[in-house]
Amino acid sequence: MTDAIAHFYHPALSVDQQLALRTAAQRLAREFDGTYGTETIERFLHTSYDQFASISSVPNYLPLLAERFARQRLHALARVEGHHYDGKPVVLFLCTHNAGRSQMALGFFTHLAGDRAVAWSGGSEPGFEINPSAIAAMAERGIDITDEYPKPWTDEIVRAANVVVTMGCGDACPVFPGTSYENWDVDDPAGLTVADVRPIRDELERRVRRLMDHLAITTG
């Protein structure tokens, strides 16, 4: 393999960040070997980095976030282009900041569905961090969402989904033909205490369970 991302240059990047991106590109190239080449991987890593550079307040984490998001996007693209098909339904949860509602819904869905389905989340205006009250409320149910992070959505991620669940992103939510859409009218937990988030959390769990029943996904 060629040294992917060798041409990736940004004046704000430190030497350590450049090395981290080159290493990330090499990992992605090995993971997607035979599916996507260096050019595609460079492009996805580059654009993912740029998306987080505009919203992240922690520059040292940018290469890691870019790699994680590029990996998700490449998996989505592989599904869209027919390179990968495992028969698992894909659900995408969208809200405004991808910091509360969509992250809690993702947490419940992933916890209940296990490896029987695929779930992603995104926001129309991604925030800087997951809502601490949402993290605490989910922890009360034994679900850890601290490893998640606010992120945007991209066309390939939406197109790869069988069901897109929207919560408060309005006209900003993308619409593609052939995709099933659900709009959940659920309060935004931004700025609320843990006590105030609990009813929102419980409503999301009920809706996630109904969605899983509709998709014939058994709980773990």
The two beta strands, 180-183 and 118-123, are unpaired
Measure the CA–CA gap between 190 and 41, rounded to whole angstroms.
35
Catalytic residue chosen out of the listed positions 90, 173, 200, 208: 173
Residues 6+ apart with CB under 8 A from 118: 88, 89, 90, 91
Is 95 among the catalytic positions? yes
199 labelled catalytic: no
Q: Are 203 and 137 in contact (CB under 8 A)?
A: no
Q: Give the strands of the sheet with 90-95, arranged side by side.
A: 118-123, 90-95, 163-167, 180-183
> Is 180 annotated in the active site?
no
The active-site residue, picked from 95, 99, 135, 143, is: 95
Please pick, among 169, 192, 204, 212, the residue that the annotation labels catalytic: 169
DSSP 166: E
Q: Which residues of 57-94 are buried (b: 16+ CB within 10 A; e: fewer)?
A: eeeeebbebbbbbbbbbbbbbbbbeeeeeeeebbbbbb
| Residues known to be catalytic | 95, 169, 173
